[in-house]
Amino acid sequence: MEALFIFIAKSSGLLALFYLAYYLLLRKETFFNSNRWFLLSGLITAVVLPFLVYTKVIWVDPVPVSNMAYSPVFTPGTIQEESFEIDWNLVSLAIYALGFTAFLVKFGIDFYSLNSVLKGKKVQQQADFKFIDINENIAPFSYFDYIVYNSSLYSASELENIIEHEKVHSDQNHTIDVLISRIFCVLFWFNPIIWLYKKAILQNLEFIADSEAAKKISDKKAYQYTLLKITTHESCVAITNHFYQSLIKKRIVMLNKNQSKKRNYLKYYAIIPALLAFVLLFQVKTIAQEKASDPITNIDPKGIESMDVFNISKNTTDAEIAERIKILKEKHQIKVSVSDLKRDSKNEITSIQIELKNEKGVVKVKRTESTNGIDKIGIIIIKEKSGKISFNFSDDEQIKNIDRSDEDQDDEIREVENVDAPDAPDAPGTSGTPTPPTPPAPPVFPGGPMPQVPASAMANMPKPPTHPGNVNDKAAMKKFEKEMAEFEKKMEAFEPDMAAYEKEVEEVMSKREAIFEKEMEKYEVAMEKYNADMQKFNQENQQNVNFNNRQYQIDMKQHAIDMKQYEKDMKQHAKDMKQQEKDMKQHQKDMIQHQKDMAKQQKERANRQNN
């Protein structure tokens, strides 16, 4: 599950990287075919690159630990009461599956609608193209080698322009681009970047078709009038290259734009440093591997504070393996990964690979397999009085040299599990059981109302003038240009109010962050003291209290409840921080949307002047 979320995050990041490179550097260039392959390569890279991981192994000297006759203790961990918790991973997966299914069904419906248009129609074959003349009021479109249009809606010259345009789509297989972009929209439906990416692909395909068709048409101005006429047909067929596009004005602008200079091709190479940075940051996995996996030796028994042995044999159940993994992580901060686990018909383990990794990144791996069931594997954890922790694997023969047998460990586990039984004997000396320390409460990010956008600024926001319906009316166009100049001046006067508002928001958030950081520093100091107290508490219990002590188990059970509450408090703290981050993102989103609206108004003015 975690691997899936990591893949989605990396793919989404790569999609955003390519889209921003296209939007900021390439969308205004006339390298339409190069832009096509650039956008397609971005989709492929977003899927392939997250799987290409370079593993860098750092070899370190093995940690020496002795294989001595010492009585190990298999610690089953603190008994905790089970409570219902929401698995947010499963919730996220369910939401994703629901959206994926909905968009997949929509994709299927679009295919059915396309088939309904093509089914039963008369096809006229000409060279590599199949022409279909329909009666429906649908914008002309192409689908692979099919070109569909309604000849009754256009003059002969207009129809010629349309067919030349659609021939380019068909000849260059633009339908494949459309289908690929739709598939990515189904897979990454939750990512807003993919929908902008799809729009960029479709727009660029129209630029290609317009550019190529204009080369074969003598009257370029008539072709532009044809574009304007097609805008009246609002009914389009999905998953096709349809002649109608909502951004006709952009297409006309690109038709009349001068060819970009060849030196601007250098912009395509701007993506390379960004991809290299992505690989170095996210696709290089560093593993600290010991030079040898010899038995632990050369440790003075007098310097040992504690030693635990965790055994896995062919008869160990999945639940027992999970329990051992949990203890190793919680008690010793050692992460355990179990893979290639196979069992035979007797439910005995015949193959297993175990990887141990501590907080410093030191990794030890052991793999074993046998058709008759694996030999016993021991995981030895030794903690010295100096605080140094050593860990390693130990095979069946080495485990036999340890004084305490595995059966004794099982008996000890049963004693802990049956601590609440009525006939469990009470051990003496329970009055001196120390009380576990209380964890500090985490700080809360300062709340409070955010500054509001000045009402005077919103009230004074100018509205753009309306473009004249008749572009040939010189008087109306002159009046429009004058109104646009006044509108632009008003917008410039409006910007200082928004700048002051943004500064006010930044000051408020800066003060709250400073307060929170100070509280976090105090909290970290308190946590260091709490960890030291907990270490001392565990040492006292390990030295002075027997595990068959009923009162000790009751105290530890209460401690587990306290720790559970502490964990809930930390989760609530994380939830509060996420909500704060969400509120800030929404605020930034609102500000960005406002800036986009202003930019859109200026673009519309420029487009109208060009027309």
Write down which residue in 279, 314, 346 finishes a domain: 279
Distance separating alpha carbons of residues 606 and 244, to the nearest angstrom: 22
Same domain, 252 and 315: no
Task: Count the Cβ atoms, other than its own, within 10 Å of residue 430.
Answer: 15
Same domain, 255 and 386: no
Beta carbons within 8 Å of 437's beta carbon, 6+ residues apart: 530, 533, 534, 537
* Number of structural domains found in the chain: 3
Same domain, 181 and 268: yes
Same domain, 468 and 601: yes
Write down which residue in 366, 384, 405 finishes a domain: 405
Q: Give me the helices (H) in 421-473, please.
A: 455-459
Same domain, 588 and 515: yes
Is residue 414 assigned to a domain? no
Is residue 208 assigned to a domain? yes
Write down which residue in 279, 308, 335 finishes a domain: 279
Altogether, the residues listed in the chain come to a count of 611
Give the model's pLDDT for residue 455. 62
Is residue 75 assigned to a domain? no
Residue 532 has pLDDT above 70, yes or no: yes
Encode pLDDT of 40-57 as tens digits: 999 999 999 998 888 776
| Measured torsion, CA atoms of residues 253, 255, 259, 265, in degrees rounded to the nearest 10 | 80
Q: What proportion of the chain, given as a percentage, has pLDDT over 70?
A: 69
- Main-chain dihedrals φ then ψ at residue 583, nearest 5 degrees: -65, -40
Which tops the pLDDT comparison, 536 or 199? 199
Is residue 114 assigned to a domain? yes
Encode pLDDT of 381-395 as tens digits: 888 877 788 888 875
- pLDDT category, 473, cuts 50, 70, 90? confident
- Token readout for 182 is 């739709």
Q: CB–CB of 154/175 below 8 Å?
A: no
Is residue 440 assigned to a domain? no
Same domain, 475 and 548: yes
Same domain, 484 and 550: yes
Same domain, 342 and 275: no
Report the DSSP beta bridge partners of residue 324.
none
The predicted model gives 411-436 an average pLDDT of 43
- pLDDT category, 603, cuts 50, 70, 90? low
Supply the range of the domain harboring residue 177. 2-51+99-279
Is residue 74 assigned to a domain? no
Q: Which of 282, 277, 162 is nearest to 224 (CA)?
A: 162
The predicted model gives 73-79 an average pLDDT of 42
Encode pLDDT of 325-373 as tens digits: 988 888 888 899 898 888 988 889 988 989 888 888 888 888 888 878 8
Q: What is the CA radius of gyration of the chain?
A: 35
The predicted model gives 262-288 an average pLDDT of 86
- Report which DSSP code applies to 136: S
Is residue 46 assigned to a domain? yes
Residue 424 has pLDDT above 50, yes or no: no
- Token readout for 135 is 């009666």
Q: Is 286 helix (H, G, I), strand (E, B) or coil?
A: strand
Same domain, 269 and 299: no
Same domain, 603 and 470: yes
The arrangement of strands across the sheet holding 146-149 comes to 123-126, 129-133, 146-149, 141-143, 241-242
Give the model's pLDDT for residue 418. 36
Same domain, 393 and 491: no
pTM of the complete model: 0.47
Distance separating alpha carbons of residues 556 and 543, to the nearest angstrom: 15
Same domain, 118 and 227: yes
Q: CB–CB of 129/145 below 8 Å?
A: yes
- Long-range CB contacts for residues 445-454, cutoff 8 Å, separation at least 24: 445/512, 445/516, 445/576, 445/577, 445/580, 446/512, 446/515, 446/516, 447/580, 448/508, 448/512, 450/505, 450/508, 450/583, 450/587, 451/501, 451/504, 451/505, 451/508, 453/498, 453/501, 454/497, 454/500, 454/501
Instruction: Give the angle subtended at the CA of 1 by the CAs of 580 and 362, to the nearest 5°.
Output: 90
